[in-house]
Structures are given as C-alpha cells and as structure tokens.
Amino acid sequence: MAKVTLQSIADKVGVSRMTVSNAFSRPDQLSADLRERILAAAADLGYSGPDPAARALARGRTGSVGMLINGRVSESFTETSSVQLLASVADDLAARGLALTLLTPPPGGGFVPARDVAVDAVLVYSCDPRSGGLEWLARRKIPMVTIDETAYPGAASVNIDDRGGARAVAQHLVDLGHRRIGIIGVQDGGRPGPSGDLTTMLPNYPMAERMAGWREAIDAAADDDGPGVLTEVRVAPLAAKRAAPAGGPRSPSLVHEIALDLLDHDVTAIICFADVFVPGVYRAAAARGLSVPGDLSVVGFDDDPLAETLDPPLTTVRQDVPAKGRAAVAALAEVMAGRMPAPVLHPTELVVRGSTAPPS
C-alpha cells in the first residue's frame, strides 16, 4: 500500500498541500466546512495526522505546558482546592490551544521529568524550593510561573494572601476570648523549635505564611493582655508523626490523633492548616465528650465545599481557587511572550459560621 502523504490528501480534496497542513496545524486559517472535508479525506485514506514529535521539532514548540509538583499525584491532589486548581489550569490552557503535562518526581533516579520531558513552559505548584526539579527547569531556561510558592528568580508568581487570611481567622478567635489555641499544620522540612514554634517550616510557603499570620494576631493579643495571659500556643506538625500507623501525613486518622494530643493540653480552640483536617478534629472532640463550638472552637482554611456541610458548619478562610488558576495561566502566557508580569496576590476572606464561639 502506498504511503499516505499530505499531497495524497490534497489531491483527493482538490486543494494545496499547504491547505491540508493548515487543517492539522493551523485550523483557524480554514473554514470549518473545508477543514471537515480535509479531515474526512484523511480518515478515508488512513492518515492520522503529522507525527507530533516531528511537528514539535519543526515548529520549535510542543504545545504542552508542564506542572511541576513535589509528590505523587495521589498525594498532591487529595484536597478539593488542589483539584479545583488543576481543573482551572487545564481548562484555561485548553482554551489557549495548550495541553497540560504533570511533572512528578521519579520513583528512583534515571528518568527525571523536569529534565527529560519536552514542554514549552512550566507551572510550579507548591514545591519545596530545594527541589531538584526546580534546578533542572532553571538550567533549561524554561518560562516559569510559581503558584503558592516563595518568589523564584526569573519566574512570575501567583499567590493568595495566606498571611492576611490566617491573621483574620486567628484574630476572630482572639476576639472571642480564646487564649489556649492549638494549631495543626503541615511540615515539609525542619523540626519545631523548643517552644513549639515552627519558624523552621519554611519550605512549605503557604504554611510559613499562614503561621506568620496566626502568630501576628495571637502574639499581639499576648502583648495587649500582659505576660502570661496567652498561656499556650501549641503547634502539632503532621510530618513529625509520619511514622504513626495512621496512613499519609494528611489522613483523617492522623489528624484525629494529633487533635487528641492538643486536647490533652486543654486548648479551647484549634486552628487547622486546611479544611480537610477538620473532620478529624471534630471526631477527636467527640471522643473527649466535647461539643463544637460549646467546648471547642475550630477554624480552617480554603472554604472547601465540605466546610458548609460539616456539623456545625465551619468558620474558615475563603480563597478563589479557579481565579488563581486562571491568573497563573495568564501570567504564563505573558512569560512565554517574553514579558515579565507583576506578582499576583489574590485576596482571601474570613467566613464565619457555626464552629466558633467564646470559650466556655
């Protein structure tokens, strides 16, 4: 059987070879009717289209944008907010004629996606700045936008006001009269200092910013009330208990265990790094015979859809995740065009519901 070429299709339809090429690579140059006739003729002849690798080589671009993440997909997108971000990014890229490729760490050397996968640009999502993947991307001089990250040299950035949101929710607890406050956070490196303050938790940008916001409100209350009035702020880093037989570092059973530890120290309020931690805290309170919010106030962050369905509904901090994803893609388009956009900082909003009340 003779090899099918673009010229074969052109002869069948009665158009030029360039017109057939445009039907596959530049569809906006043709009418919908003409493109459909060309694609139908190609299908009749058994032609599936130009080889993607050859086309990418000829055009100097792949048509794909990478998203670099630290862990496995099953770990990185367990929260609704992360799934919403992924969906928003993928949809916005598709509208621009671009595909999304996830770049995940290799299980054991050899193939390194950040080094070996051909992409036109990369979104870096909440990664450890010491990640080898970031180093490889920098070496390749690939256009980059970071999301929920510390500013990275040469990359545009899109973040939310983690610190302001955290400060607002902590101030809400302080204004209600709480002075024994526990915090359940995440830790991607370092260990808590002797006082329990996770100032060494900097690789995780959202956690570092939220910790700073929580402490600003709580420490200010301590200064206003006088020494010793704010008796205890305990931080329970999830990573410190990764060896516990409770599953992953964000599993409900592990959060439940840590919440029990905090309740043993008579806290009257618990701040959670993310809403997804809250069900484990509610179960811990029930196990100790405590009511929410009568005996224990609980707050979260993200305004995950589950926040309104909990009993009681959760006081939390709202962020517009789809808007953050769209802003990241827009910034990436600017970087790919050779322009460096200004850093983007999306606002957050305190949402007060039924999980908080003055301490009993």
pLDDT at position 28: 74
- In the predicted model, what is the mean pLDDT of residues 164-182? 94
Residue 162 has pLDDT above 70, yes or no: yes
Residue 35 has pLDDT above 60, yes or no: yes
Phi and psi based region of residue 185 (left: phi greater than 0; alpha: psi -120 to 50; beta: remaining): beta
pLDDT at position 22: 80
**Does one domain contain both 173 and 262?**
yes
Give me the percent of the chain exceeding a pLDDT of 90: 43
CATH code of the domain covering residue 207: 3.40.50.2300
Domain extent, residue 28, equals 6-50
**Does one domain contain both 151 and 293?**
no
DSSP string, 202-269: TTSHHHHHHHHHHHHHHHHHHHHH-TTTS-EEEEEEGGGGTTSTT-STT-HHHHHHHHHHHHTTT-SE
**306 three-state secondary structure:** helix
Q: Is the dihedral of CA 156, 160, 166, 172 positive or negative?
A: positive
Reported confidence tier of residue 56, pLDDT bands at 50, 70, 90: very low
**Does one domain contain both 35 and 73?**
no
351 found inside a domain: no
**Does one domain contain both 100 and 195?**
no
pLDDT digits (tens, 9 = 90+) for 58-105: 555 668 899 988 766 766 676 788 889 999 999 999 999 899 998 887
Q: How many domains are contained in the chain?
A: 3
> What is the overall mean pLDDT for the chain?
81
- Determine phi and psi for 195, rounding to 5 degrees: -85, -5
